[in-house]
Amino acid sequence: MATLPDQTNHQALLDNRTILVIDDEEPIRRLLTYLLQSHGYLVEGAGDAREARQKLGDQPFALMLCDVNMPGESGMDLVRHALAEHKHTAAIMVTGLDSSVLANAALEVGAFGYIVKPFESNEVLIDVANALRRRRLEIENSLHRENLEDIVRTRTLALQQALDWLKHTEKELRLSREETIQRLAMAAEFRDSSTAQHIQRMSHYCELLARKAGLPPERCDLIRTASPMHDIGKIGTPDHVLLKPGRFTDEEFGVIAQHAEIGYRILSGSDSELLKVAATIAYTHHEHYDGTGYPRGLKGEAIPIEGRIVAIADAFDALTTQRVYKPAFGLSHAIELMLKHRGTHFDPELLDIFVASIDEVARIHNQYADLVNPNPTTDEP
Ligand SMILES: [Fe+2]
């Protein structure tokens, strides 16, 4: 990519009045040099193409007046070369032959004019002035275009950086939101059996089941993120109930069962889609498909699908995890036990989908296996 000259260089480029006169006839060179110098131009002369190439390489010329027929390389070839190599140099051909074919050839190689010898002084001066004006316009256009391209480049880069920053921030925000949720969920469950791995397994089982059930990807992601909060209502369960070893009395069962409603009260009322899903899950994850669950005894598809999904994932994780009062059941045994409650506790179709996905379920189970034996637990109803 060409680097733009700075403002000073621009002006120097536009103000350049240096002209290279190339002609093998010395009197013509002298005549042109005198004429142009007497009108304020800086002039250098060259007797052939080789000398001209050397001078063109030594300094920038605004214009070259070039003879067509010279010994060695022709003026036409020299101009073709010079215009390709020195993009800010203009050219006018000077020749003894008044030929329209030659004139056209000169214009085709990029010359701005064609002067036939013998010439009038005014004719030369007018052609030179015109060629320099045209050169100036072309340079200004080119600089303007480059300037515009540079502005577009700069703004595109700034936009790209802003987008990258936004993506980074969005990712940070999402990760921090998920981590906050997981840590809050762990804090709520810290008093009983839950571990970080339980939270991870639960949310991934839920996401897997939601995906296999054909829910849209955004919904699956919401369920994965919201499901760790399913038991957040246990914050409101007194220790003497939550931590009680052994079975619950009916009264204690009633107290612990309140965690679904407490969780709902904590999470509901938000405009956030995530918290709405989390509230639904907290409220409905202990409902049973046949209507025998709690807190509202909802039945069948009246139970939101998020609640039916979490019910399966939660039960499966409880069965396959070691607790103080029971060993971890193998995956097949756990599935066998759950199938006994197909259509009563669990949504039959969702349970079938979960069972059919057992290979992926097992991968999640192994990936987020508990690192140490969990703490003593209560037997949540
Ligand atoms: Fe629960």
The domains located in the chain, with CATH, are 7-153 (3.40.50.2300), 175-367 (1.10.3210.10)
Query: Please, which contacts does 147-156 make with residues 24 or more away whose CB atoms are closer than 8 Å?
Result: 147/4, 150/4
pLDDT at res. 324: 65
pLDDT at res. 372: 52
Distance between Cα 353 and ligand 1 center (Å)? 22
Strands (E), 87-153: 90-95, 113-116
pLDDT at res. 31: 94
pLDDT at res. 121: 92
pLDDT at res. 183: 77
Distance between Cα 232 and ligand 1 center (Å)? 8
Distance between Cα 188 and ligand 1 center (Å)? 11
Q: What sign has the CA pseudo-torsion 224, 230, 232, 234?
A: negative
pLDDT at res. 185: 77
Distance between Cα 309 and ligand 1 center (Å)? 13
In the sheet that holds 113-116, the strands lie side by side as 42-46, 18-22, 63-67, 90-95, 113-116
Distance between Cα 263 and ligand 1 center (Å)? 9
Query: Please, which contacts does 27-33 make with residues 24 or more away whose CB atoms are closer than 8 Å?
Result: 28/67, 28/94, 28/117, 32/65, 32/94, 32/124
pTM as predicted: 0.59
Strands 42-46 and 113-116 come out as: unpaired
pLDDT at res. 350: 98
> Residue ranges of the alpha helices (H) in 23-74?
26-37, 49-58
Distance between Cα 257 and ligand 1 center (Å)? 8
pLDDT at res. 374: 44
CB 223 within 8 A of CB 277: yes
pLDDT at res. 102: 83
pLDDT at res. 3: 43
pLDDT at res. 180: 80
- pLDDT in 10s for each residue of the chain, 381 residues: 344 456 667 788 888 899 999 999 999 999 999 999 999 999 999 999 999 999 999 999 999 999 998 888 889 999 999 999 998 999 999 988 878 888 888 889 899 988 998 889 999 999 999 999 999 999 999 889 988 999 999 999 999 999 999 999 988 888 888 888 877 777 776 666 556 788 889 999 999 999 999 999 999 999 999 999 999 998 888 888 887 777 889 999 899 999 999 999 999 998 888 999 999 999 999 999 999 999 999 999 999 999 999 999 999 999 998 876 678 899 999 999 999 999 999 999 999 999 999 999 999 999 988 765 444 333 344
Clarify whether 234 is annotated catalytic: yes
CA distance 278 to 272: 10
What residue has token string 């005894």?
A: 297
User: Exactly one of 234, 244, 299, 340 is catalytic; which is it?
Assistant: 234
pLDDT at res. 293: 96
Position 265, amino acid: R
